[in-house]
Amino acid sequence: MHGETKDKLLHPIGSTNAFSLCIQAFLQAEGVEKFVIVYKDETQLSRLKATFNQLQTSQGQLREPDIYWTLGGKERQDSVQAGLQALPDEITHILVHDCARPFIRPQTIAQAASEISKDRAVTIARPLKDTLRFREDQSENALIPSPTKTLDRSRHWLMETPQGAPRAWLEEGLSKAQSQKVLLTDDMAAVELTGHPVGMLDPGYPNPKITTPDDFSYAEFLLKS
């Protein structure tokens, strides 16, 4: 965020923030029983808990959830592993969501949870619409002409979250990634290490990730619209 905000999850989006929007969506989604919120440090934990308590007070219709709070790790896969370890043993199917995607809707979460309960791996994703081109030259200066190749975009998907699978698959994949020293960019990469196929669920609406300060303007536009 280039130092422009202390915590993008709690930075204002209109009168709310990414954390509150995600929490509301998951609490309203059918099929989700328990929650783990993975935090980065004690300062964030304190702020997240305060925000959650305020949300519960102002949104009386939200159900009382079973929530576990746990400290994350250096990489994404470390944080997912910490979240899995914080859950009770009876939880057998997992959804992992990046709280920087605040516009996920309850019905999409419920649909993903339903598919995962059938012992499937499913990710929110959308088919690529733009032309995809591979550039052979790995130099940072893309203006220097390089041999290129146009790839078949009909077979490429852009990954979003939530992503989920049977718990055992995720745990096995994360264990393999650790032993093989593989850095995972998303949770389905862990499932791929186990050899299980992955299903794609197109939400049919914008589900962008807040990554840079400019993304807040787009987020506010989506919230108003």
Question: Considering the domain boundaries, does residue 2 fall inside one?
Answer: no
Q: Is residue 1 part of a domain?
A: no
Establish if 76 belongs to a structural domain. Answer: yes
The answer for 26, left when phi > 0, alpha when psi is -120 to 50, beta otherwise, is: alpha
Q: Is residue 5 part of a domain?
A: no
The answer to whether residue 42 sits within a structural domain is: yes
Q: Tell me: the pLDDT tens digits for 132-179?
A: 999 998 888 989 899 999 999 999 999 999 999 999 999 999 999 999
Domain that holds residue 35: 12-224
Which element (helix H / strand E) includes 48? helix 42-58
pLDDT at 61 (0 to 100): 59
Single pTM value for the model = 0.93
Which of the residues in the chain have pLDDT under 70? Answer: 60-64
- Mean pLDDT of the residues in the chain: 95
| Interval 192-201: pLDDT, tens | 999 999 999 9
pLDDT for position 112: 98
Backbone angles phi, psi at 114, to 5 degrees: -65, -45
As for how many domains the chain has, the answer is: 1
Structure confidence at residue 60 (pLDDT): 67
Q: Is residue 4 part of a domain?
A: no
7: in domain: no
Rounded to whole angstroms, the Cα distance separating 118 from 146 reads 46
- Per-residue pLDDT, 204: 97
Q: What is the pLDDT of residue 62?
A: 64
192: CATH: 3.90.550.10
**pLDDT of 63:** 67
Judge if the upstream peptide bond of residue 162 is cis by omega within 30 degrees of 0. yes
Q: Using alpha carbons only, what angle is made at residue 49 by residues 39 and 62, rounded to the nearest 5 degrees?
A: 115
- Whether 38 is in a domain gets the answer yes
